[in-house]
Amino acid sequence: MKDRNTNILRSGKRHAFTLIEMLVVIAIIGVLAALVTGVASGAAKSRKVKRVENDLARLVTAIEDYKAAMGNYPPDNIALVNGVPQVQPAGLYYELTGTEFQDAQGVFVTLGGVNQIAPNQAEMFFGRKGFQNSIPGEAQSFLKDLRNDQKAVLTSNPSDLRSEVTILTAPVEGPNDIPDKNNQPVNPWKYVSSSPTNNTATFDLWAEVKIGEEIVVINNWQN
């Protein structure tokens, strides 16, 4: 009777995990976690790249529409820095949205009256005192309804609204961002129309974006 009860008690015991089994389970969980993290990271990267690519496509269309209407591409802004040509933020925002010069105030005002810029500020930031797409009664808007992360305001004097200029920006941070008027980093589009090295018959447009530790160049000369 005693032996029978002993057998019953023994058969009712629950099987416990051994150390090896626990280590195997932990290893499997670690592998699954790494796979999930990798997939999530890859998806986040893909979303960021796609977002910039969509903006690129829209800008390319606007620039080509500008060329069809104006007969030439918008001017770029190549400046000599220590004797070396450097691509600087161009006046693309004003050229593509269109401006009109207001004699009374002495400023260029974007169509719709959203932004304005004085000639001396245009020259300081963009290397020219005016814009081609500013002929009274003929100026056109080729780029509308920009999101806040597609443009940024720079300034040479935060206390003076007349010192502000607007530039086009990529919606993802880059490796060489510049400060906006609120000292927040922004990533300007780079643009060359006077001497493009990739699309020699048209223009080069690109943005360097930082995704994790990787720098990705999104441009209009590679598919």
What is the CA 76 to chain-centroid distance, rounded? Answer: 18
pLDDT score of 14? 54
CA distance 95 to 151: 14
- In a domain, residue 91? The reply is yes
CA dihedral 133, 186, 175, 211 (to 10 degrees): -110
Residue 160, in any domain of the structure: yes
Burial class (CB in 10 A: 0-12, 13-18, 19+), 200: exposed
Q: Is 80 among the domain residues? A: yes
How do 78-81 and 84-87 pair as beta strands? antiparallel
Instruction: Going residue by residue through the chain, which has 223 residues, state the pLDDT in tens, using 9 for 90 and above.
Output: 555 555 544 555 556 668 787 788 887 887 777 676 665 566 677 889 999 999 999 999 999 999 999 999 999 999 988 888 899 999 999 999 999 999 888 999 999 888 899 999 999 999 999 999 999 889 999 999 999 999 999 998 877 777 889 999 999 999 999 999 999 999 999 999 999 999 999 999 999 999 888 999 999 998 6
CA distance 56 to 42: 21
What pLDDT sits at residue 105? 86
Q: What's the N-to-C CA distance of the chain in angstroms?
A: 83
Residue 7 lies in a domain: no
Strand 107-110 versus strand 116-117 pairing type? antiparallel
pLDDT of the residue at 30: 75
In this structure, is the dihedral angle defined by the CA atoms of residues 210, 215, 221 and 223, taken in order, positive or negative? negative
Q: Tell me what pLDDT residue 169 has.
A: 98
- The rounded distance, in Å, linking the Cα atoms of 158 and 17 is 67
- Whether 11 maps to a domain, the answer reads no
In a domain, 126, yes or no: yes
Asked if residue 17 belongs to a domain, the reply is: no
Q: pTM higher than 0.85, yes or no?
A: no
Range of the domain at 192: 41-219
- Rg, C-alpha atoms of the chain: 29
Question: What's residue 119's pLDDT?
Answer: 93
Give me the pLDDT at residue 37, please.
67
Structurally, the chain folds into a number of domains equal to: 1
